[in-house]
Structure 1
Amino acid sequence: MPERLAEMLLDLWTPLIILWITLPPCIFMAPMNHSQVLMSGSPLELNRLGEEQRILNRSKRGWVWNQMFVLEEFSGPEPILVGRLHTDLDPGSKKIKYILSGDGAGTIFQINDVTGDIHAIKRLDREEKAEYTLTAQAVDWETSKPLEPPSEFIIKVQDINDNAPEFLNGPYHATVPEMSILGTSVTNVTATDADDPVYGNSAKLVYSILEGQPYFSIEPETAIIKTALPNMDREAKEEYLVVIQAKDMGGHSGGLSGTTTLTVTLTDVNDNPPKFAQSLYHFSVPEDVVLGTAIGRVKANDQDIGENAQSSYDIIDGDGTALFEITSDAQAQDGIIRLRKPLDFETKKSYTLKVEAANVHIDPRFSSRGPFKDTATVKIVVEDADEPPVFSSPTYLLEVHENAALNSVIGQVTARDPDITSSPIRFSIDRHTDLERQFNINADDGKITLATPLDRELSMWHNITIIATEIRNHSQISRVPVAIKVLDVNDNAPEFASEYEAFLCENGKPGQVIQTVSAMDKDDPKNGHYFLYSLLPEMVNNPNFTIKKNEDNSLSILAKHNGFNRQKQEVYLLPIVISDSGNPPLSSTSTLTIRVCGCSNDGVVQSCNVEAYVLPIGLSMGALIAILACIILLLVIVVLFVTLRRHKNEPLIIKDDEDVRENIIRYDDEGGGEEDTEAFDIATLQNPDGINGFLPHHRRGLLGGISPDAV
């Protein structure tokens, strides 16, 4: 109680003591040049000092003033005297008038125009305005003429401790990691004081903590806040409220103070391992569950938060490691157990797994506490379900020869009901995959038979789908693809690869290759095609042509002699027998047409009788177009001519009763004698085929109807 009373008395007398100390300097003004501002003393002293100044500085004129001071926040019954203006020209006869102008003249500061005393008539606040610049002037009282040039001077407002410290940015928030060591810096706060920082201790601040011990401490001068206890645990307490005080006057008694709050949040570090909520989990799953389906969830709790609580899950042991997998859910922080492979109740009815949860982000500072992981046991019970039939194979491949007999068995599929209470199975063909109904299936045993003939050359593969249905539950069905490959048999004879037509030059040489032909066979033997070529037996020794087998399975036709004459025989037909290497082999006879043509000296075909097979050398495209145009023009003329004749209705056929004598032409030429008889070979008339095997134009035979001498 005595201390509190002393403190109150000190607070009461402190302003008066400060006023008593600072008032004499405020009213004292040191003389400079010949003008004076007197802050104390009697009028006689003022006159004496002014007279001495005039004697010493009579030659100098002009005002130069020192600063004046006035204490802020001072209030009393009378205006406060700030200072006094005086000039050495004032003998005390009251003939000089003092005038004051500038900041606050007349409103804040008032001058006695006779004595020069300046008073503050209002309460001043240094924080609002710290100094005032005014102008003093001395004039003659009667004439108002200036006696001295105007001179500026400054009145400064002297500070007192009237402002408490303030935390402008409060309240504050800061974070610090949990488990931090002693003295870890948290943050720093700063207060401001509006008082003058260069005068006295009014703005000298000292910081302290009013609330928040023993967890935090503060540096008194820098306001840096640090941890005062080591290893604070976020999981025990996450947030702390700290009350901070700033006090001026260096923290001494009587100073003003301000406070603010700081909320300190402990941030998380990974100092806790995951822990399963239970050591044993039970799940059940039907055996027909779809692969990838979630079986169940396990969760390991972690007192940490954020990434420090993230855990990865693994199956580390058990009899179902190949059938199940576990994945981590980053949002829920739990492990999801999923099915990887199909289950079979009839094979195994339960599984046991050992799962592990381990932190993803490990803090090495706490690794000495032990492994940041935990394990739990998971038991999974498989429930029985009505499953569809199961085929003995996921796909079937059957082979059948294209000449297989109808209703013959080409293959078989089998299926079974995997359930304990096995149901009989019925088989059928999905007719959408067998639109032509080429196959049938026995509904009881799954044997596939042939319903229509096959032809490999039309379709080598047939893909059908077999359906297996449980008799006791028709909704339980299964499907299996069956690929049927049609195997080749030698049922097609070889023939020419294309329709060949050979051209033989009249001036050709013996042994010259007239044409090279090749054969094709619709069959597809395993060892590839190999063809045998021969002439008909009755034409093996023909005098005109021979054949030669080439290594590339082709055949060349050669001329036996030269001197072919298209005037005597224009076309030769050469039947060729082609046999394959099948078992049994098949053969056919193809006829090659050989046309005798006129050729150039270098063997280029130019014409075959009236038909030009090769354009003459040098004939351009323009000439060919001109010829075609002429032909078209002639056709148009003929059509016009016939049309005009019909319009005249003139008969085109000579009637029997018309005189035809004028149409008889008489020739007086004599016969040629022996030359006429030699010009025609009578033997040719007796033997139309000719001894040399020439075939007349009207005797072009078909296959099997060709004379042996036609080649």
Structure 2
Amino acid sequence: MYIGTKHSLSYHATNQQPAGIVGRLCAVIPGRANIPRHTPTEDSSNMRTAALLLLAVSAALACEDKRSRRTKREELLVRAKRRWVLSTIEITEEDKGPFPKEISQMYNDKKDTVASHLFEISGAGVTEPPLGVFYINETTGKVYARRAVDRETDKCFHIKFDIKDKSTREHIDKELSFDVEVKDINDNAPTFHRTRIVENIPENSPEGILPVRLNSFDPDQEDTINSTMTISMVSQNPTDPKFEVEKIDNRTAQLKYRGCFDYDKVKIYNIIVKVADHGKPPLSSTALIILNITDTNTHLPTFKKNLYFAEVNEMELRDEFLKIQVEDKDTRHTAGWKAEYFFVSGNEGGIYAIKTDPKTNEGVLSIVKLNDVVRTTNSSVIIRVENEEKLFHCKHKPDPAPKPNTVTVTIKTIDLNDAPTFEKAITHVYQKEEEPPGRVLFTPKVTDIESDEIRFVKLYDPADWVHIDPKTGAVSTLKKMDRESPFVVDNVYKVVIGAIDNGDPPATGNGTVFIHLKDINDYAPMLLNKSVTLCYDIGNTVPVRVQDLDADPYSGPFAFSLDTKDTELKDYWKLDPNFGEEGGLTMVSKLASGNYSVPLEIMDQQNKINRETLTVVVCECGGTGACLIQPLTVNIGGAAIGLIIASLLLFLLLLLIFVCHCGKNFHPIPDSTIDEGHQTLIMYNQEGGSSECKAEPAMFLTTTTTTTRNNTATDGRKMAPPMTLTKEEIEIYNKSNYEEGYSTFDYRSGSRRGNGMYNQDTWTNKMGMYLGSSQHSRYSLQVNQHISDHLHRKLQVLTGGQAEEVDYHPHEYAYEGEGSISRDLDQLSLANLDLEFLNHLGPKFKTLGGICQESIKEKNIQF
């Protein structure tokens, strides 16, 4: 088969003699029969011969296999006959046409008769995407392109050619695969990856390469002039400093500059760069670069003043005694603006320190070390200021770099009255606890250059155990010292004394005395817990924990024992263990639940004994560790029973006296309340006909009128007119005044509530029994006038109920007497009264008047 012009190409194979060792071996030994054999006479070269034989055998086998494969291939080539004629099919992208356009023609000499076969085409551009690009004439084999193609989209088309019999549609020859290449043209302009580039460039960037990289791309065919690119500058604004583009490779370039940036003059640069290819005609594109210049330290800070002055006191620490102001033209709150201060001279002793105020950038001067001067002096301190960031100075500028600015601070140190100085600021003394008071523990040595008169005072003595001599400062004991006191820490008691001179103002020096107290055996061991719980269902032993405030050797281990006075105690209890820091109390025989007192004797290492009683609660715990709740039982002794009997006899005696005194005028309660039936209201509070009791009641009860079933009320004498009451009057007497309140009777619940008093009534329907309970607030008995008024109102109620009128008439329930005749005190006039009689009241009244007059004078009362 042919594509384009017809050419005949045939392959043939020629027999060649094999070369090299293998070739010679194959020529000499066509088979395996000519392999040399080993003979016994060649003993000296057995190993060498064996190796050669092995190599010869391997070579013969390889030569035989190679010859077999070559023979088969030569036979195939000799028998085969080329059927397809191959050549290259090339098309140019973006071809203008006209279309369809012939691009090639297929030939195949397998069949000589053209009319007996047809051509078919398949693959990319035909039966695979992109579709509709190629097609073939079935008879002539001419290949056509239907439209233009884009190489950047489809660089190559893999197509297949077939030849078939027209009648049978069977393949006449094998399928032929072919790649159709697309020829590139310069139809794409190169572009930058970023057409707008924004970068922040520090003002102090060194001259040369900038951190701005330009990356470009051209989709045309690589390694051709269409994809070969050049990046260059187009323009810049402003023009100083000069920017350039340095090429790194075909696609990448770097921006660089010559000169220096000046943030104060220019803050933004606009640069346009271009990338162009070498195609014909050349294509290009541009990109915009925006450089934002950020401010750095190009200006040194300067002091606002050349000289500062300050006054301080000697022996004084001050955080801020002077602020130094500076100016800086760089951007605020940046590293190029923030100031740092340094001492140049005058602070060799480290007395002063300076730090920067982060808000104002001021230098804050402080005193960090005490400075003692004999007299008032002036000193000078030189301070230098710089920035946190190093100063940047452009080398292209003609002026040299400026030097840091300095300032002088004159400090006047005022001499003050120096406090007395103790020879030893801290002194340790030793004392045995519980020693008798009055012993001198320590006498300080104090010096004061400026004063000879010194007095001593006590500044710290929490337990008030010591006395300080005001003239000598001698420290002596005032009370017995207790090592176990809470004011003693680690056996040491602290006392601070002060020495005060007579300067103006007086100065005080401090001295500390640590008193080390030696322990004695002044405390006996004691129980930590006076009561313990023994759960007999868990065990029969409880721990006995002991505390001794003394230290070793006056404390534990302890010896435990039972009180020997009680002989029966050992039958129930024993101590196990009975020696150690903690003892154990064991119940020997099971005891009933209850509380038991066990007297114990506890002895420390120095045989000091303390007798204490341990309360043991014996109970069942049920495995919880706590006693289960037991029913409460009370055992009443003989004295209690006698007291109860005496109280009952006294109550009976008082009741008998009351009956004998009041029983003569007793009026029985009317029987009408007894005859009341079920489900009716029973009148319980009818007081009509009661006995006249001469005893003054502790509290006045209420007068009531109650409605019965037949709407009639009975007081035991006459029938009252029918009426219905839903409220009852309650009269209550208070401490200060008389109050009248009302309460509502609830017929359903049988309860009454009133102002200042709560009553609760209960009854049964069958027997009509009445049970009443009242809870009263605090009341007191009023004067006899109130009692008289109360009796008068009772009589009015009783006499008013005797009328038999059927019609309703007004009824007086509460007569309170005549109105008050008291007048306002302002209406009284004493001008016309003769008050001379007050001078003749007698000696007793004069004594009382004198006492009142003295009281008035003491209280400074003026009329």
For this structure pair, what is the TM-score category when the shorter chain's length is used for normalisation?
A: 0.3 to 0.5
Question: Which has the bigger relative contact order, CA under 8 A and spacing at least 6?
Answer: 1
